[in-house]
Amino acid sequence: MSLSGLSRASLSAAKAGRFVPILKSLIWIAAFLLLVELIVVALGIRPYYLPRPSAIAAAFLATPQAYLLSMWRTLLETVIGFVAGSLFGVAMGVLFHRWTLLRELFFPLFVVSQTIPVIAFGAVVVLWFGNTLLAKAVIAFYISFLPVTVNALLGFATVDPRQVALMRSFGAKEGQILRRLYLPAALPQIFVALKLASSLSLIGAIVGEWFGDTTGLGVLLLQAMYNENVVGIWVTIVASACLGIGLYGAVSKAERRIVFWGAEQ
Amino acid sequence: MSPVTASSNARRISRGFAGAFLLAAIWELSVRGFNLPAYVLPSVSSIITGMFADAGKLADAARFTAAEALTGYLLGCVIGIAVAVGVSMVPRTRSAVMSVATAINSVPVVAYSPLVLLWFGIGMTSKIVMVAVAVSFTVFLSTIAGLDRIDRKSIDLVRSFGAGRMAVLWRLRLPTALPLIIAGMRVSTVRSVIVAIVTEMLGAYGGLGWVIYQAVLQIDFVQVWAAIIVASAISLCFFGVISFIEQRYIFWR
């Protein structure tokens, strides 16, 4: 009884311990915003260069619908591209790990493909798929799969061959070895890449929208730029930061759940 | 390098080229076989011919973009390393700087492009600023990670021999951190070229991004692909140079 009470107390303490750093950064950010507000007012900086943080918040509250709709659209593109990119990335990791010849032939090309500026490729993709949600998702996919492949390969390489031999000697099939041994061993590494891929696919989605669309954060950015609406640009910047943080947080949360034996924290 | 790794390296390189040729052959054959129009996918041979035809224009654009990327890259590396060293020298500023850096860094970097274009105009300055921003965060984070790796006991030991703060930084902290700093710099190379091109597409007087944008407007996809190939070639060279420096001079990792 007292033991369970104790463990519960320590559990809630641990929980509070996790929130303290978050609270601390929130206070820092609030202090920073306040400082910016004061500096802008005190030095009389024109909104063209730096609008007051309160003006940015007001601009969002004036037309929240437009921003929320755009965020939703960009989120959809990002998530579709991210999920497809992650699955493809892991699948490629498995293929490249299983067949060395395939890896030696094509892995360098995969790496080279990432030096292609995504926006140039975007022009081609929009031509192929039309100006649709799918085209943006394809760009997000393209920009996000490689880190996953690289880290999956790294993770697979850490598996002890003796463990594979042991499982084989018990008659395990290839699929079972993959599911029971290789994937769990590589998961911590894969999640490191997934966190990176989540921010990359958001970049892909935003850049993809620059080729002309009606909604989305990338569209809002361009419209605000052409109208020299600096406050609008800032609202969109904050909105994309929120999306980025949200995605990253979601992947981190999934990581803590799935990789409970957690090598990375 | 032992002969075994040399021969396996040679095999890897030859396989890599074989893969590239295989891809080029499949590309060429499928374009010719299915008779794809150039705006869907131009053939490899027509892209290469196009590159030679526009060699002067592409070379000018490449110089323009490379100058922007390189200037921004150097600036970004200096800022990133300097801020990280400053934070590690004055630990009290750490949580404030890290929070602000994380907040700024959580914005997808391309979202800053319109703002920077408005602030700095559509000349070279805006691209240099964008590249510097993108590079400095990566380098800052890897430098901080590198400086954190140091063992407290080694610092105490060096200090007990009478080393001052600067000596500790110069003789101990930076050499320990250097492998990670260089790793961050290596990752940033490709990023710097891409960010320069992305910003050029939104507005510029020249450069590969500008060439690509013009070519898209004229539906000249041979030129788009030619510019893409030049851009990747620049990134690869840049990446190769930093990797070479890393392998040559960071012998103690």
CB-based contact (8 Å) between A34 and chain B? Answer: no
Residues A41, A76 share a domain: no
Query: A161 burial class (0-12, 13-18, 19+ CB within 10 angstroms)?
Result: exposed
Over residues A137-146, the mean pLDDT reads: 89
How many angstroms away from the CA of B170 is the closest CA of chain A? Answer: 30
Over residues B82-102, the mean pLDDT reads: 83
Residues B118, B3 share a domain: no
Residues B14, B84 share a domain: no
Cα-Cα-Cα-Cα dihedral sign, residues B160, B161, B167, B169: negative
Beta-carbon separation of B20 and A202 below 8 A = no
CB pairs under 8 A between A and B: 139
Residues B47, B28 share a domain: no
Beta-carbon separation of B231 and A118 below 8 A = no
Q: Which contacts qualify for B220-224: CB closer than 8 Å, 24 or more apart?
A: B221/A124, B221/A127, B221/B38, B221/B39, B221/B42, B222/B38, B222/B42, B222/B46, B222/B47, B222/B50, B223/B50, B223/B54, B224/A120, B224/A123, B224/A124
pLDDT, chain A, mean:
82
Q: Is residue B152 over pLDDT 80? A: no
Residues B7, B58 share a domain: no
Beta-carbon separation of A105 and B198 below 8 A = no
Read off the pLDDT of residues A68-98 as tens digits, 9 standing for 90 and up: 988 999 999 999 999 999 999 999 999 988 8
Quickly count: other Cβ atoms within 10 Å of residue B166's Cβ.
9
How many angstroms away from the CA of B158 is the closest CA of chain A? Answer: 31
pTM recorded for the entire structure? 0.81
Residues B78, B3 share a domain: no
Side chain identity at residue B159, one-letter code: R
For residue B62, what are the contacts with CB-CB under 8 A and spacing of at least 6?
Answer: B208, B230, B231, B234
**What percent of chain B lies above the pLDDT cut of 90?**
13
Q: Is residue B6 over pLDDT 90? A: no
How many angstroms away from the CA of A19 is the closest CA of chain B? Answer: 15
Query: B159 burial class (0-12, 13-18, 19+ CB within 10 angstroms)?
Result: middle
User: Choosing among A32, A56, A104, which should be mutated to test the B contact, i.e. which has the most B CBs within 10 A?
Assistant: A104
For residue A6, give its domain range. Answer: 1-45
A263 within some domain: no
Among A104, A112, A127, select the one facing B39 at the smallest CB separation.
A127
A237 within some domain: yes
Residues B52, B1 share a domain: no
For residue B209, give its domain range. Answer: 39-249
- Residue B213: give its domain's CATH number: 1.10.3720.10
Provide the domain count of chain B: 2
Provide the domain count of chain A: 2
Residues 226-255 of A with CB under 8 A from B: 228, 230, 233-234, 236-238, 240-241, 244-245, 248
A112 within some domain: yes
Residues A142, A64 share a domain: yes
**What percent of chain A lies above the pLDDT cut of 70?**
91
Decide if A74 contacts A216 (C-beta within 8 A).
Answer: yes
Beta-carbon separation of A25 and B15 below 8 A = no
User: Choosing among B115, B202, B230, which should be mutated to test the A contact, i.e. which has the most A CBs within 10 A?
Assistant: B115
Q: Is residue B1 over pLDDT 50? A: no
Over residues B80-88, the mean pLDDT reads: 89
Read off the pLDDT of residues A162-207 as tens digits, 9 standing for 90 and up: 888 888 888 888 888 888 888 888 888 888 889 888 988 998 898 8
Residues A246, A195 share a domain: yes
pLDDT, chain B, mean:
83
Over residues B141-156, the mean pLDDT reads: 80
Residues B122, B20 share a domain: no
Q: What is the ipTM of this complex?
A: 0.78
Of B108, B105, B131, B126, residue with least CA distance to B116:
B126
Q: Is residue A152 over pLDDT 50? A: yes
Beta-carbon separation of A221 and B111 below 8 A = yes
Query: For residues A120 and B106, what is the distance between their CA atoms, to the nearest angstrom?
Result: 24
Read off the pLDDT of residues B214-247 as tens digits, 9 standing for 90 and up: 888 888 888 888 888 898 889 888 888 888 888 8
Beta-carbon separation of A118 and B117 below 8 A = no
Residues 123-162 of A with CB under 8 A from B: 123-124, 127-128
**What percent of chain B lies above the pLDDT cut of 70?**
96
Instruction: Pick the more confident residue, B73 or B184.
Output: B73
Over residues A243-248, the mean pLDDT reads: 89
**pLDDT on residue B7:** 65
Read off the pLDDT of residues A7-54 as tens digits, 9 standing for 90 and up: 454 555 555 566 777 787 788 778 888 888 888 888 877 877 788 888
Residues B122, B78 share a domain: yes
Cα-Cα-Cα-Cα dihedral sign, residues A255, A259, A261, A265: negative
A149 within some domain: yes
Residues A40, A144 share a domain: no
Instruction: Pick the more confident residue, A121 or A67.
Output: A67
Banded pLDDT at A210 (limits 50, 70, 90): confident
Beta-carbon separation of B231 and A117 below 8 A = yes
Give the range among A142-156, A248-262, B36-50, B154-168 with minimum mean pLDDT: B154-168
Query: A102 burial class (0-12, 13-18, 19+ CB within 10 angstroms)?
Result: middle
A264 within some domain: no
